[in-house]
């Protein structure tokens, strides 16, 4: 362990700034760049590669740092996208919560068709099967439910 620790210290002294600058140029974040520096040195210590000279060694280290940085950029983008989607879904749910509160005030036969159609995504034929009703009855219940919902929302929320 002492030998690899000495080697890591030597590499850090020789190439640390170059690796850090390279990683930072991709990530624009010093904390992430420092993680890449550490991961690059770990990769180096794990590898059994032989290097022709210092230039070859430095090129290998920078190539690893670049690859790790690109992976981190991709990971960060995916994470940001996921967080953004969660935020949008959350906002959308909040915006629509008043609609679902209004649905709860509908008579049960209307509330259930609205729920099955909009929340569960069933088609009217499927809803008819679930509720053991004719499809035409489900369609007319859905139409009446929408009309009643529109009235409730207009009264309660001044929607036009």
Summarize pLDDT for 6-52 with one digit per residue, the tens: 877 888 898 999 999 989 988 888 999 999 999 999 998 888 777 77
Instruction: Give the Cα separation of 153 and 1 in Å (integer).
Output: 71
Instruction: Give the Cα separation of 119 and 83 in Å (integer).
Output: 23
The predicted model scores a pTM of 0.49
Determine the average pLDDT of the residues in 77-97: 68
Contacts with 159 (C-beta within 8 Å, 6 or more apart), sequence order: 153
> Is 70 exceeded by the pLDDT of residue 160?
no
Of all helices (H) and strands (E), which one includes residue 112? helix 108-114
Instruction: Give the Cα separation of 117 and 121 in Å (integer).
Output: 5
- For a pLDDT cut of 70, what percent of the chain falls above it? 86
Instruction: Give the Cα separation of 144 and 107 in Å (integer).
Output: 11
Determine the average pLDDT of the residues in 80-99: 68
Residue 157 or residue 13, greater confidence: 13
86, 138, 142, 7: which is closest to 150 by C-alpha? 142
Highest-pLDDT range among 10-19, 92-101, 148-157: 10-19
Instruction: Give the Cα separation of 106 and 147 in Å (integer).
Output: 11
Instruction: Give the Cα separation of 158 and 138 in Å (integer).
Output: 28
Tokens 């679930």 belong to which residue? 130
21, 50, 46: which is closest to 36 by C-alpha? 21
């Amino acid at each position: 362990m002492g030998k690899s620790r000495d080697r890591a210290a030597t590499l850090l002294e020789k190439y640390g700034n170059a690796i850090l600058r390279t990683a930072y140029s991709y990530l624009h974040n010093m904390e992430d760049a420092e993680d890449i520096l550490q991961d690059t040195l770990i990769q180096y210590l794990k590898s059994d590669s032989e290097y022709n000279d210092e230039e070859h060694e430095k090129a290998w280290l920078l190539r690893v740092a670049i690859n790790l940085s690109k992976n981190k950029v991709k990971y960060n983008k995916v994470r940001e996208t996921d967080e953004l989607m969660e935020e949008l879904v959350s906002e959308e749910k909040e915006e629509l919560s008043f609609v679902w509160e209004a649905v709860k005030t509908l008579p049960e036969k209307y509330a259930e068709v609205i729920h099955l159609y909009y929340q569960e995504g069933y088609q009217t034929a499927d809803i008819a099967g679930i509720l053991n009703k004719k499809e035409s009855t489900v369609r007319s219940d859905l139409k009446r439910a929408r009309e009643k919902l529109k009235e409730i929302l207009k009264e309660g929320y001044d929607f036009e």
